[in-house]
């Protein structure tokens, strides 16, 4: 085991993949000379040259579209967006081109392309730079959607994403980049579509995404001291979604809450709840609960921002309502 910053492990993983496959190229604003907005690509341009690690203009529609073209001609582009919010600037290239070409070509063309982008609030980045876009992207068929929970998960899932022959949108939580994590010396690719049981329990199931997994684990440890045994499931990928692991857990616990930092309306919590209700409704002892952002833009002021976003305290309070 070793202790390493999340951003440094992302950089190390990208380095390993660039060395493994000469068809991998990287595009993004400031990923070269500056090493990326969150310092996830430091030193890579110097090592691999500016033809494989390319600084781009401030034009997401342009360089995401260029990535689609590269993928169609045999390269494997990895594109970094400064914030997930900027997916909307390139929405046509992402939703109508990257995601649909394999289907519309009858499988004759594939788009082996990964888009990395940060999600989440907590930095006072205001309404246009703090969103969590995973549910929006997952709505459109043709893309795989990944939400790693910690550094080791991010490294293993990123290797799988880059090697996948389909387009992947890979969401990293910006509040984790500077945190240090204990990770294995060697990290293997993690298969998509298989959730991880982060903590076993018997009283209630908590399904969480991204950094909400760690918040849920911390909440579960405190709740255990009060006699409430929580099972925490790290969803890992939204598309494909491992509903089987969730359903088996709900059969055991009879209770379920979903924690996801995106807005609750039309969010991942609703999708998980629908899947469970379809299959194991009669195993439920209580209504399914959701914890997410309310339907309001995220404010700049920390005094307003932090009360809105999901937290360890909110998870504890929600779980307790099932045992009052």
User: What kind and span of H or E run contains 233?
Assistant: strand 230-234
Is 129 a known active-site residue? yes
The one catalytic residue among 29, 60, 153, 312: 60
Q: How many CA atoms lie within 13 A of 202 on its CB side?
A: 1
295 within 8 A of 309, measured Cβ to Cβ: no
CA 9 – CA 152 distance, rounded (Å): 8
* Residue 155 Cα distances to 70, 141, 213, 306, angstroms: 24, 25, 16, 28
Q: Which of 253, 248, 247, 234 is CA-nearest to residue 319?
A: 253
What's the token pair of residue 318? 């929600």
**CATH numbers and ranges of domains, the chain:** 2-183 (3.40.50.970), 196-323 (3.40.50.920)
Q: Which of 144, 202, 161, 154 is CA-nearest to residue 176?
A: 154
Is 173 a known active-site residue? no
The one catalytic residue among 17, 29, 80, 129: 129
User: Per residue of the chain (324 residues), what is the pLDDT tens digit?
Assistant: 999 999 999 999 999 999 999 999 999 999 999 999 999 999 999 999 999 999 999 999 999 999 999 999 999 999 999 999 999 999 999 999 999 999 999 999 999 999 999 999 998 899 999 999 999 999 999 999 999 999 999 999 999 999 999 999 999 999 999 999 999 999 999 999 999 999 999 999 999 999 999 999 999 999 999 999 999 999 999 999 999 999 999 999 999 999 999 999 999 999 999 999 988 999 999 999 999 999 999 999 999 999 999 999 999 999 999 998
Pairing of strands 230-234, 196-199: antiparallel
132 within 8 A of 76, measured Cβ to Cβ: no
What's the token pair of residue 208? 């969480």
């Amino acid at each position: 085991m070793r202790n390493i910053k999340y951003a440094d492990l992302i950089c190390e993983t990208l380095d390993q993949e660039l060395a493994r496959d000469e068809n991998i190229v990287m595009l993004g604003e400031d990923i070269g000379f500056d090493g990326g907005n969150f310092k996830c690509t430091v030193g890579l341009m110097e090592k691999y040259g500016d033809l494989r690690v390319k600084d781009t203009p401030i034009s997401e529609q342009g360089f995401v579209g260029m990535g689609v073209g590269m993928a169609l001609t045999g390269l494997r582009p990895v594109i970094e967006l400064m914030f997930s919010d900027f997916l909307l600037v390139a929405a046509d290239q992402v939703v109508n081109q990257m995601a649909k070409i394999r289907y519309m070509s009858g499988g004759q063309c594939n788009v082996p392309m990964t888009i990395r982008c940060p999600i989440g609030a907590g930095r006072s980045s205001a309404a246009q730079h703090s969103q969590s876009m995973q549910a929006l992207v997952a709505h459109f068929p043709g893309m795989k959607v990944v939400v790693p929970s910690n550094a080791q998960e991010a490294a293993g899932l990123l290797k799988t994403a880059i090697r996948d022959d389909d387009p992947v949108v890979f969401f990293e939580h910006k509040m984790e980049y500077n945190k240090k994590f204990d990770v294995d010396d060697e990290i293997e690719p993690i298969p998509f579509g298989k959730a991880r049981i982060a903590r076993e329990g018997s009283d209630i199931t908590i399904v969480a995404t991204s950094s909400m997994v760690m918040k849920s684990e911390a909440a579960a440890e405190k709740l255990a001291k009060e006699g409430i045994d929580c099972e925490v499931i790290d969803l890992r990928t939204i598309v494909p979604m491992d509903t089987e692991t969730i359903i088996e857990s709900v059969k055991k616990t009879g209770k379920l809450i979903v924690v996801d930092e995106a807005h609750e309306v039309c969010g991942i919590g609703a999708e998980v709840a629908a899947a469970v209700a379809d299959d194991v409704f009669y195993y439920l002892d209580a209504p399914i609960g959701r914890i997410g952002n309310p339907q309001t833009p995220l404010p700049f002021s920390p005094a307003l921002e932090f009360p809105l976003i999901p937290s360890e305290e909110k998870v504890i309070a929600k779980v307790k309502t099932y045992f009052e």
